[in-house]
């Protein structure tokens, strides 16, 4: 009966255009957050590719948590985090000054979210530098999605990666989680971060653990074996089809 009910629910969700996910692996708070009617259509249309329910469940985000969303872009995950942590939780959207210098409107999307009463637990912090992530209280989860490669690029100077990761470590509670999600580059690929907007996962793992983190686990939910890691992620036909890694590190 349970299997039949789950199958029926999946069919109904598919017919309604909603994202279907396994009820036994995604907590209700996260499933409800993804189903939030306040999410814009431009975001929900990308759910099939980005698999937010499974990804956020892997991060272990739960009601009451403080989540730091580094370089949140338009806030695709910010809204989901806000609903997943609930009114007793908090989401801190961090926009570094380097980003603001390159794109003056970089914080506009998340500022609009924070101004919406439906997402009253979201605050925006414009930090002076990506090299020093500072927040008012220790976080349960610090998250950056499809950004780590950018920290290697000209717009960030490039960043002092060691200092950045150490500041993230300091901003977490003991046992806190650091999530890095990004596009996979081939090992040793020349200038992959700047030209392709990809990064070798082994480089990320080495740099983050060197800062004092313990590697915890990896999710393959966004893996794409057909991606040969040579295409620019913005090229036609690549969006939503790149091979992506998701690493979980612990303080």
Q: What is the CATH number of the domain that holds 230?
A: 3.40.50.150
d(CA 159, CA 35): 36
HSE of 1, CA atoms in CB hemisphere, 13 A: 0
pLDDT band at 84, cuts 50/70/90?
A: very high
Statement: residue 13 has pLDDT above 70: no
The domain tally of the chain equals 1
Domain range enclosing 71: 2-250
β-strand partners of 70:
94, 144
pLDDT band at 19, cuts 50/70/90?
A: very low
- Kindly compute the dihedral angle of the four CA atoms of residues 129, 133, 135, 138, in this order, to the nearest 10 degrees: 180
pLDDT computed for residue 99 by the predictor: 87
Number of Cβ within 10 Å of residue 194's Cβ equals: 15
Cα 64 to Cα 202, 214, 216, 245, distances in angstroms: 32, 24, 22, 27
Contact, 177 vs 141, CB < 8 A? yes
pLDDT band at 153, cuts 50/70/90?
A: very high
β-strand partners of 29:
none
Q: Does 11 or 238 have the greater pLDDT score?
A: 238
**pTM as predicted:** 0.89
Q: In the chain, what percentage of residues exceed pLDDT 90?
A: 81
Q: In the chain, at which residue ranges do the beta strands (DSSP E only) sit?
A: 66-70, 90-96, 122-127, 139-145, 172-183, 214-219, 244-250
Statement: residue 39 has pLDDT above 90: yes
Cα 179 to Cα 40, 102, 146, 205, 214, distances in angstroms: 24, 25, 11, 11, 12
Q: What angle do CA 191, 193, 197 make, to 5 degrees?
A: 125
Q: In the chain, what percentage of residues exceed pLDDT 70?
A: 90
Please tell me whether residue 195 adopts helix, strand or coil conformation.
Answer: helix
């Amino acid at each position: 009966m349970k299997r039949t009910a789950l199958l029926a629910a999946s069919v109904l969700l598919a017919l309604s255009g909603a994202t279907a996910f396994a009820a036994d692996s995604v907590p209700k708070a996260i499933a409800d957050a993804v189903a939030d009617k306040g999410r814009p259509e431009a975001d929900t249309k990308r759910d099939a590719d980005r698999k937010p329910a499974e990804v956020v469940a892997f991060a272990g985000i739960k009601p009451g948590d403080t989540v730091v969303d580094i370089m949140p872009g338009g806030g695709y995950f910010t809204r989901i985090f806000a609903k997943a942590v609930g009114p007793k939780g908090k989401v801190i959207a961090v926009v570094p000054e380097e980003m603001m210098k390159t794109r003056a409107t970089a914080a506009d999307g998340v500022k609009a979210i924070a101004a919406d009463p439906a997402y009253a637990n979201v605050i925006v912090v414009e930090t002076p530098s990506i090299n020093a992530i500072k927040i008012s209280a220790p976080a349960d989860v610090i998250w950056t999605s499809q950004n780590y490669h950018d920290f290697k690029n000209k717009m960030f100077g490039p960043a002092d990666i060691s200092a950045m990761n150490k500041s993230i470590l300091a901003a977490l509670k003991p046992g806190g989680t650091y999530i890095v999600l990004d596009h996979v580059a081939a090992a040793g690929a020349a200038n992959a971060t700047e030209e392709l907007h990809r990064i070798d996962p082994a480089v990320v793992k080495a740099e983050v653990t060197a800062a004092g983190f313990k590697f915890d686990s990896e999710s393959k939910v966004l893996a794409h074996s057909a991606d040969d890691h040579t295409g620019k992620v913005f090229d036609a036909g690549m969006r939503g089809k790149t091979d992506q890694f998701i690493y979980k590190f612990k303080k």
